[in-house]
Structure 1
């Protein structure tokens, strides 16, 4: 029985969503097309009805993951809370449902430019979102880039530690405190009227 175009699109989205999770957990090369399709509830033969290649799926899955992060950031009432959530022990234990920048940066470095471009777009949106949450300052983008580097780097390092490692927890706690201090400092600049955009 031939499926409808609407159902085919739903099936495609199901594969993308599942791949997004599995790639973040095990890397692009950590799972085969056959196992990906099986995990999504479909047969291997249906893969090429939807995607030209595994790399094409990786691009869509990566974009899906970053858009998930966009949604998480939008739902957070404050940047301070986003930082705390991003660098939490829960996030450390759940790479499949959290930031793809922290989960896949090392993997993406070895991938073709098509995947790197999607990754770069996702990181850029992350930077812009954080910059928009900071006071209107000339240095807002610089502050946002700094925060993204600290947050992603700390989460990557913490995940590389054994689950029982106190160092992993220390990395997250220290980065959380440092990032939150930066946010507080930026808010202080706004209140004092320093470093504002435009004529003073």
Structure 2
């Protein structure tokens, strides 16, 4: 049975949205195709009408999450205040506690480093993020904008990874606050 193109596109989008969320929450191995399809309200069978494999979905979900994340960055005012607010939001307990809605690098970076296709998708995201971060916000030196953007992005991602990884809430918040203070 053929479905209208709009309905097929909507289902495809739903699968990508849910996959991007669940993969960031539980990792690639922590989510089965049948679980994912159940979470979208679809049966397992139609999955292969949208993706040839789970691997293809994993790569597509990185690209999908990347697009949304970069769109949010571009919606931030391109000012010192906008940059400070972006950094503060990134380095917040809300972001720390919601990996499914957050940064794909902090959630999936280590897993992506082990798979060539995932590394390619993550590399494209990191390149775009650094480029947009350097080009979108004002910097003290235009010549050093890229260098400073790499530094800031690496510090932000590292802080979220550390803050999520420790069991001490006080230490977790201290990590976020200190990195935010140094970048702000």
TM-score in terms of structure 1 length: 0.86
| Aligned residue runs from structure 1 range 134-149, under 5 A | 134-135=138-139, 137-149=142-154
Please say which of residues 2-11 and 120-129 is displaced more in the overlay: 2-11
Moved over 4 A (4+): none
Question: Aligned residue pairs: how many?
Answer: 178
**How far does the alpha carbon of each residue in 1:19-64 deviate from its partner, in whole angstroms, 9 at most, with x for none?**
0000000001101001011101111111111101101001111111
Partner of 2:74: 74
Offset of residue 80 of structure 1: 1.0
Structure 2 regions of 5+ residues with no counterpart?
none
For the aligned residue pairs, the C-alpha RMSD in angstroms reads 1.2
**How far does the alpha carbon of each residue in 1:113-170 deviate from its partner, in whole angstroms, 9 at most, with x for none?**
11111101111111011111133611111100000110000000000112x5211000
| Aligned residue runs from structure 1 range 14-163, under 5 A | 14-77=14-77, 78-111=82-115, 113-132=116-135, 133-135=137-139, 137-162=142-167
If you compute each CA radius of gyration, which structure gives the higher value, 1 or 2?
1
Offset of residue 9 of structure 1: 1.4
Offset of residue 108 of structure 1: 0.8
Separation in 2 of the partners of 1:106 and 1:2?
A: 39
Q: Which has the higher contact order (CA 8 A, sep 6+)?
A: 2
Structure 1 regions of 5+ residues with no counterpart?
181-200
Partner of 1:194: none
